[in-house]
Amino acid sequence: MKTTRPLAYASYGLLGLPLAMAALPVYVQIPAYYSGQLGLALGLTGWVLFLARLVDTLQDPLLGRWIDRLNDKITAWFWSAALILAVAFLGLWLPPVSSSNTMYLSLWLAVMLVAAYTAHSMLNIAYLTWGARIDAKAANHDQGLLGAAAWREGAGLFGVILASVIPSWIMSRPASTLSNNLLNYSLGFAAVLLIAVWVLLRFAPKWQRTKNTETVPSWRATWALMKAHQGFRQLLPPYFLNAISVAIPSTLALFFINDRLQAPSYAGAFLASYFIAAAIGLPLWVTAAKKIGVLCAWRWGMVLAILAFCSAATLGAGDIIAYLIVCIAAGLALGADLALPPVLLAKLIRQDSSPASYFGVWTLLGKLALALSGLALPALAALDYQPGSPAGPELAWVYAGVPCAFKLIAFLLLTRIKTEPAGVSS
């Protein structure tokens, strides 16, 4: 049986870089940018985020069904989604609307968010499905899954490092250079995205066609199949709760750094250290998964994350070194959250079971977690927190304490899963 070359895995993984670059600004930096730089009210920003993410959540299973029927149309799918994402990314950073016109600015934000979310989902669900089918018929299928995941998430972590450092640097520059720098950043992102799509389509392991799109079961039949899949049902609740525990800090990170730690000049360094630590931890978690099993490795990652964020809940103004340690520990734990859950899901899915439909539900829960995390902003507004003003302990507990609770429940649910899909560990 022919073995897939490492270069092919790398060609597959490259698209993870621009996808992560698009995800980080939307989830982390855009809320702070619109409320802090453009003057949109914090509560209104949070509700726009929630509603836009909710729209994105509902469409993912439909996109998954569509992708299952693509076959030879996969090239057009990737190119069209990439072009939409590139335009929406530019529109998010450079709204052609005056910041004094709150209604039109919030409407523009909503439209661009929906466009960015839709295009990102089109790419991401197809991309994950592609990875789940790599070496599907080979004897080393398990190693192929982990290899593809490692390259994908490794490239993604490099992407989030870029997306955390570059915008932070741009925001620290004189206001007169802001628009030009954001334009260059958006054009650079578009170039990287289009190159990554070209490399994927040209050099990655080929997209595995379904034998016959007519044999793809109906949505009702697929839904019944997923409901009857015990392993899939067991995995969804801890995945969803864990996703919430990651989404809330992502939404509030810059607010916490700026107004609780009162260290806005360190924002880029904090975010970079977090994602660099995740990049370092990623191969360690993959190695651990091969030795002790994916489920066990993911549980240990959760324990590390809980310890890190419990510590963060106690921090206040000036605790720069302590927060840097938290970022490194939480970043190491993030590697497990990124690489291991998709591998578990891929092993649960039979090759004839419309994998994109499963990933559509999977990403639906991830997006729903992000949508719910947007409600943290109006909740903080109700607690009298105002961006740009020193924040009290309420920000620390919403940023770190609440995610710890969700992570702990996810951990307890995950420990109830006694076995993992055959062949995941080695």
241-262 tens-digit pLDDT: 999 998 898 888 888 998 899 8
DSSP string, 114-179: HHHHHHHHHHHHHHHHHHHTTTTTSTTHHHHHHHHHHHHHHHHHHHHHHHHHHHHHHHHS-GGGHH
> Residue 25 has what pLDDT?
66
> Residue 139 has what pLDDT?
42
> Residue 411 has what pLDDT?
93
> Residue 108 has what pLDDT?
93
> Residue 423 has what pLDDT?
46
C-alpha torsion angle, residues 123, 15, 19, 134 (rounded to 10): 60
* 85 touches 121 (CB < 8 A): no
* 235 touches 295 (CB < 8 A): no
The residue type at 36? G
* 341-378 tens-digit pLDDT: 877 777 776 554 566 677 777 777 887 887 788 788 88
Distance CA 36, CA 285 (A): 37
Helix (H) or strand (E) holding 306: helix 294-312
What is the domain partition of the chain in residue ranges? 9-415
DSSP state of 99: T
Name residues of the chain where pLDDT drops below 50: 1-3, 136, 138-139, 141, 212-214, 352, 422-426
Q: How far is CA 291 from CA 287, 295, 332, 343, 375, in A?
A: 7, 11, 18, 15, 39
The dihedral sign for the CA sequence 339, 19, 159, 169: negative
Q: How far is CA 13 from CA 70, 109, 361, in A?
A: 21, 30, 22
3 state SS of 391: coil
* 135 touches 4 (CB < 8 A): yes
* 361 touches 235 (CB < 8 A): no
**Total residue length of the chain:** 426
Distance CA 153, CA 112 (A): 26
Distance CA 346, CA 323 (A): 35
Residue keyed to tokens 């620390």: 396
Q: How far is CA 175 from CA 63, 95, 107, in A?
A: 40, 16, 24
* 362 touches 215 (CB < 8 A): no
Classify domain 9-415 at the CATH superfamily level: MFS general substrate transporter like domains (1.20.1250.20)
φ, ψ dihedrals at 8, nearest 5°: -70, -40
